[in-house]
Amino acid sequence: EIVLTQSPATLSLSPGERATLSCRASQSVSNHLAWYQQKPGQAPRLLIYDASNRATGIAARFSGSGSGTDFTLTISSLEPEDFAIYFCQQGSSRPLTFGGGTNVEIK
């Protein structure tokens, strides 16, 4: 099973600031990595797939990069609605696995 480790666990930032979230895989997943956003009481929403492709309807301020074992989700300028938990997920091998999440909170 591929283990995904996200850091930091919590990111305290102000609106307008840049957010950089990290996801590290225990073995190479090539580019088979996705990012999801989850708000309290809601289902996750797909943001990025195949490491760097924005999903339908996702704002351009969200971008993903990386390959192999190290990946980054960047939010260029935080909007109030971006404060949420972000999960990475690998699609390279079964079982599909998720990282533990990064909570982006308002500073």
Partner 1 sequence: QVQLVESGGGVVQPGRSLRVSCAASGFRFNGYGMHWVRQAPGKGLEWVAVIGHDGTYQNYVDTVKGRFTISRDNFKNTLYLEMNSLSAEDTAVYYCARDLGKGKFFDYWGQGVLVTVSS
- Among positions 28, 44, 69, 72, the unique one binding partner 1 when judged by CB under 8 A: 44
- Among positions 62, 101, 102, 104, the unique one binding partner 1 when judged by CB under 8 A: 101
Q: Which is nearer to partner 1, 77 or 93 (CB)?
A: 93
- Of 97, 107, 77, 94, nearest to 36 by C-alpha is 97
- Among positions 9, 14, 80, 95, the unique one binding partner 1 when judged by CB under 8 A: 95
- Among positions 34, 75, 84, 104, the unique one binding partner 1 when judged by CB under 8 A: 34
- Of 12, 14, 41, 36, nearest to 23 by C-alpha is 36
Instruction: State in angstroms the smallest separation of the CB of 106 from partner 1.
Output: 20
Contact range with partner 1 by CB under 8 A, out of 13-21, 63-71, 75-83, 96-104: 96-104
- Among positions 13, 52, 55, 61, the unique one binding partner 1 when judged by CB under 8 A: 55
Calculate Rg over the CA atoms of the chain.
Answer: 13
Residue with the two structure tokens 């938990």: 85
Question: CA-CA distances (angstroms) from residue 85 to 1, 57, 100, 105?
Answer: 23, 19, 10, 8
